[in-house]
Structure 1
Amino acid sequence: MEETTTLDIETLKEQYIPGPQSLHLQRAPVPNDVIYTVGLYGWRKRCLYFLLLLFLVTMIVNLALTVWIIKVMNLSTGGMGNLQLSQDGIRLEGFSEFLLPLYVKEIRSRRDSALVLRSERNVTLNVRNSQGHLTGQLTVGSDSVEAQCRRLEVRSRADGQPLFSADADEIRIGTRTFTVTGSEGAVFRHSVETPLIQSSASEELKLESPTRTLTMGAPRGVEVTSAHGALTVGGRKDLQLQSTEGEIILDAATVRLASLPLGVFAPEPPGRASPQPPPPPPAGQATYEVCVCPSGKLYLSPAASSSTCQAVSNICLWS
């Protein structure tokens, strides 16, 4: 019979499981001459100093540039140099140069000086609507002034009445008189409508059409008057006075018809009338009769006890 071994549990615990006092570990002794310090050393320290120096130099340069800009631009609490800021807007003193477009609501000068806009090429003022479309433009160039708009008006400073207006349909001049001082006068390519054409007191008034016909017409009549001098109406060819429904009245103290041809009373039949010019009147003949041909031509005929005008006169036949 085999022998049995009895295990004592308490004995095993004492052999393999240490007690509480055996769990405390003993630390190694630390020598007194070892000191641990905290900080940056080596390349980290040099980089930090370099960054601090760079920031310091940058700050000094920025400060110097700021002072230089303030000195050059003459900056102050009221503005910048010739530019002054106020509640009403911006005020510029002296000459100002703009390199880019300028958008403002109003430009005006001081009360004691004029406003001058100067450019090496031209000065252009543009007006645009809310959509940005161009509605008006004024261009002042070296040899011309151009205005592009629907209607151009020039008004009087005193009462604001329009002095000149122009659009696509007509041009109006609102002044009391329109004076042309050119030596050649005024040239009109088309018709002119005006209530009065008058020259100055010391000059002559001349209406001329060198190559075409000069026509004057009005629904209530045309009046040609020379108050202080002679009135001359001349033409290279025929001069026609025509009235369709009225009369032609020559009202003057003396009506003179110069250079009228002289006719001769011819009792012979018309077939024997001589086509040659009539002989000069006798020396004692001083009275003549004014005759009118059927064609309307006037001629003189020696006056007698009865009329000597003949429709078959040599003047009427051969004229």
Structure 2
Amino acid sequence: MEQSATLDIEALKVTQFQFILASQSLHLQRPACDVSYPVGLYGWRKRSLYFFLLLLLATMIVNLALTVWIIKVMNLSMDGMGNLHLSRDGIRLEGISEFFLPLYVNEIQSRKDSTLALRSEKNVTLDVRNERGQLTSQLTVGPEAVEVQCQRLQIRNKDGDRALLTAGEDELLMTTEKFTVTGSEGAVFGHSVETPLIQARSSEDVKLESPTRTLTMEAPRGVEVSAAQGALKVSSRKDLQLESTEGEILLDASSIQLGGLPLGIYVLSPSQAARAHTIYEVCVCPSGKVYLSPAESSSTCQTMSNICLWS
């Protein structure tokens, strides 16, 4: 029994000795690890990284400061920018606004308590184009004139239910109750004028004149020329013709004077007839010419009709 125990102890010692030898052999075969490798950035790389981080931080601070300054100066808000306010109905501008490029809008409207003013150093031009981009109408307000280019120009009253002035390529139609010309030279018309009434003010005269051409007044139912409180004067350089195709010419006055009528004399000279006679009768030639003839107990027009030979 003691011999076996001794064997086991010897065997254990041998096994322990072998383990120690094996461990020492393994320790001798392990390579040496004396070299160390540093981890991280060092030297100029580290300094460059810190410089770029500082530069980025400074740029972010400057950008944030400029953004805050722009928001403060431009008065940016959730409703718009400064005098410009955005809403569901469109854009509202308050105060004076300047546009350096063309403005395209559907409607421009001012507030109810203020007027809408369009100002420009040169001119203000409003263009209307069709769906193809072609110019259909144009309104130009310049320093010397206001020009309108369109096919038809129409001016309506404040309610918009009645046209006051309609101008086209062929005619100009005015539907106002009264058209007043206050210029000292009156109104000049290059062609015919159609109107139911031409009337002057109560304290002024009305004058129809054609300096170089003829003056013609025509009406389908008659022409009436009257002077309620003054004299009526009709003068012509050449012929004055009163013609009625289906009616009569009526001169209704307390006295009618025909001045400058020629005197029809057959025997006596005009000077002798003027001294001998003070009463004359008015005679009419077949051509329509009117002349005077000395009045006697019977008509002398036939005797003094020699003046009709020269008419």
Indicate the TM-score class for this superposition, using the shorter chain for normalisation. 0.7 to 0.9
For structure 1, the 5+ residue unaligned runs are: 1-20, 267-272
Q: Match of 2:166, as an amino acid?
A: S
Q: Match of 2:270, as an amino acid?
A: P
Alpha-carbon distance change, 58 to 181 in structure 1, aligned in 2, over 3 angstroms: same
The residue number in structure 2 matching 1:214 is: 215
Alpha-carbon distance change, 172 to 294 in structure 1, aligned in 2, over 3 angstroms: closer
Write the distance in 1 (CA, Å) between the matches of 2:102 and 2:255. Answer: 74
Q: Is the 8 A contact 2:86 2:92 kept in 1?
A: yes
Q: Is the 8 A contact 1:138 1:148 kept in 2?
A: yes
User: Which string of whole-angstrom CA distances, capped at 9 and with x for unpartnered residues, describes residues 254-274 of structure 1?
Assistant: 33333434444x5xxxxxx57
Q: Is the 8 A contact 1:263 1:278 kept in 2?
A: no
2:296 matched to 1:304?
yes
2:164 matched to 1:163?
yes
Q: Is the 8 A contact 1:294 1:311 kept in 2?
A: no
Following TM superposition, the consecutive aligned residue runs of length 4 or more in structure 1 with deviations greater than 6 angstroms are: none
Q: Is the 8 A contact 1:127 1:134 kept in 2?
A: yes
Deviation at residue 169 of structure 1 after TM alignment: 1.4
Alpha-carbon distance change, 204 to 219 in structure 1, aligned in 2, over 3 angstroms: same
The residue number in structure 1 matching 2:195 is: 194
2:17 matched to 1:28?
no
Q: Is the 8 A contact 1:262 1:278 kept in 2?
A: no
Q: How does 1:92-241 map to 2 (within 5 A)?
A: 92-158=93-159, 160-241=161-242
Q: Match of 1:132, as an amino acid?
A: G
Write the distance in 2 (CA, Å) between the matches of 1:111 and 1:263. Answer: 79
Write the distance in 2 (CA, Å) between the matches of 1:89 and 1:113. Answer: 18
Write the distance in 1 (CA, Å) between the matches of 2:171 and 2:285. Answer: 48
Alpha-carbon distance change, 67 to 228 in structure 1, aligned in 2, over 3 angstroms: same
Q: Identify the structure with the greater helix proportion.
A: 2
> Per the alignment, in what secondary structure is the counterpart of residue 69 of structure 1?
helix
Q: Is the 8 A contact 2:280 2:294 kept in 1?
A: yes
User: Which string of whole-angstrom CA distances, capped at 9 and with x for unpartnered residues, describes residues 56-100 of structure 1?
Assistant: 111111111111111211222222112222222222221111111
Alpha-carbon distance change, 165 to 296 in structure 1, aligned in 2, over 3 angstroms: closer
Alpha-carbon distance change, 119 to 318 in structure 1, aligned in 2, over 3 angstroms: closer
Match 2:272 to one of 268, 279, 283: 279
Q: Which structure has the higher relative contact order (CA within 8 Å, separation 6+)? A: 1
Deviation at residue 175 of structure 1 after TM alignment: 0.7
> Per the alignment, in what secondary structure is the counterpart of residue 225 of structure 1?
coil
> Per the alignment, in what secondary structure is the counterpart of residue 76 of structure 1?
coil
User: Which string of whole-angstrom CA distances, capped at 9 and with x for unpartnered residues, describes residues 35-66 of structure 1?
Assistant: 54421223332232222122111111111111
Alpha-carbon distance change, 303 to 53 in structure 1, aligned in 2, over 3 angstroms: same
Alpha-carbon distance change, 277 to 116 in structure 1, aligned in 2, over 3 angstroms: same
Q: Is the 8 A contact 2:217 2:223 kept in 1?
A: yes
Q: Match of 2:29, as an amino acid?
A: Q
> Per the alignment, in what secondary structure is the counterpart of residue 67 of structure 1?
helix
Write the distance in 2 (CA, Å) between the matches of 1:218 and 1:236. Answer: 24
Q: Is the 8 A contact 1:293 1:311 kept in 2?
A: no
Q: Is the 8 A contact 1:138 1:145 kept in 2?
A: yes
Could you tell which deviates more after superposition, 234-243 or 96-105?
234-243
Number of residue pairs matched? 287
Deviation at residue 311 of structure 1 after TM alignment: 5.0
Q: Is the 8 A contact 2:293 2:304 kept in 1?
A: no
Q: How large is the Cα RMSD of the aligned pairs?
A: 2.6
Write the distance in 2 (CA, Å) between the matches of 1:234 and 1:280. Answer: 28
For structure 2, the 5+ residue unaligned runs are: 1-21
The residue number in structure 2 matching 1:9 is: none
Q: How does 1:34-49 map to 2 (within 5 A)?
A: 35-49=36-50
> Per the alignment, in what secondary structure is the counterpart of residue 137 of structure 2?
strand
Q: Match of 1:129, as an amino acid?
A: N
User: Which string of whole-angstrom CA distances, capped at 9 and with x for unpartnered residues, describes residues 72-129 of structure 1?
Assistant: 1122222211222222222222111111111122111121111111111111111112
2:57 matched to 1:65?
no
Write the distance in 2 (CA, Å) between the matches of 1:180 and 1:95. Answer: 38
Alpha-carbon distance change, 100 to 302 in structure 1, aligned in 2, over 3 angstroms: closer
Q: Match of 2:31, as an amino acid?
A: A
